[in-house]
Amino acid sequence: MPFLHRVLTALALGSLMTTSFLYAAESSPTITIGTQEVGLAVGYILPHRLTEDHKTKHEGPVFMPSWMITITDPLGSSWYRGQVSVGAEMVYIQFREPILTHGVGFTPKIKYSFSAWDRIRPYTEFAGGPFWSDLTDKIPEESGQFNFILSAGFGVSYFLTDQAALNIGYLFQHISNGGTSYPNIGLNASLPFGGFSFYF
């Protein structure tokens, strides 16, 4: 996956350049109710053919710009102490296999960030919403261009400063039309990703 290697290398170099200009956070970042987060994640989908009916080997780069806002103070008092954020994400997929096609979606999103480890913040997230693609009417698993995309997974944020963080993570992704037409077997994929966020 030369594309993914290039993306990860660029993110690593970008983080080194960023840290040369930004101070390292000396204490745990303070995220309060109303704190907003804008970010960009980049990854590469790898197919999961879960049954014999899943024939398509779909893969390609994914770009996910997002916006979120924190809606709770820290919850809990142990390792699970954390905060809830809600927001929205755009999803763009360039399918390079089985043919060069494209997909774009809009997904409301919810995230729970664990805050007990200072600058290192593990998190879990879930997103889902409408998705349009010119791949899904050309494969046996889906019959139309209008679908829904669901993703769920986990990640880790490392705060370079109180306002900037690097993110890496994994999502399981599902695309199907919700039974609006048939066939509706769906597409499943793993999505490793990396990216960054800014808080204000």
Is residue 22 a part of any domain in this protein? Answer: no
Residue 95's domain comprises: 2-16+38-48+58-199
Is residue 101 a part of any domain in this protein? Answer: yes
pLDDT score at 25? 42
Question: CA distances (Å), 13 to each of 6, 168, 195, in order?
Answer: 11, 15, 12
pLDDT digits (tens, 9 = 90+) for 106-120: 999 999 999 988 899
- pLDDT-based confidence at residue 140 (cuts at 50, 70, 90): confident
CATH number of the domain that 102 lies in? 2.40.160.20
Answer whether residue 86 shows pLDDT above 70.
Answer: yes
Rg of the chain taking only CA atoms, in angstroms: 18
Is residue 113 a part of any domain in this protein? Answer: yes
pLDDT score at 112? 98
pLDDT score at 190? 96
Answer whether residue 27 shows pLDDT above 50.
Answer: yes
The per-residue DSSP string of 172-192 comes to EEEEE-TTSSS-B--EEEEEE
Q: Which residues pair with 124 in a beta bridge?
A: 112, 154
CB 163 within 8 A of CB 200: yes
Domain count, the chain: 1
Is residue 75 a part of any domain in this protein? Answer: yes
Least confident window among 21-35, 65-79, 109-123, 166-180: 21-35
Is residue 26 a part of any domain in this protein? Answer: no
pLDDT score at 17? 45
Sign of CA dihedral 131, 113, 25, 194: negative
pLDDT score at 159? 97
- pLDDT-based confidence at residue 123 (cuts at 50, 70, 90): very high
pTM of the model: 0.82
Average model confidence (pLDDT) for the chain?
A: 86
Instruction: Dig out the tokens for 108 from the structure.
Output: 């409301």
Answer whether residue 58 shows pLDDT above 50.
Answer: yes
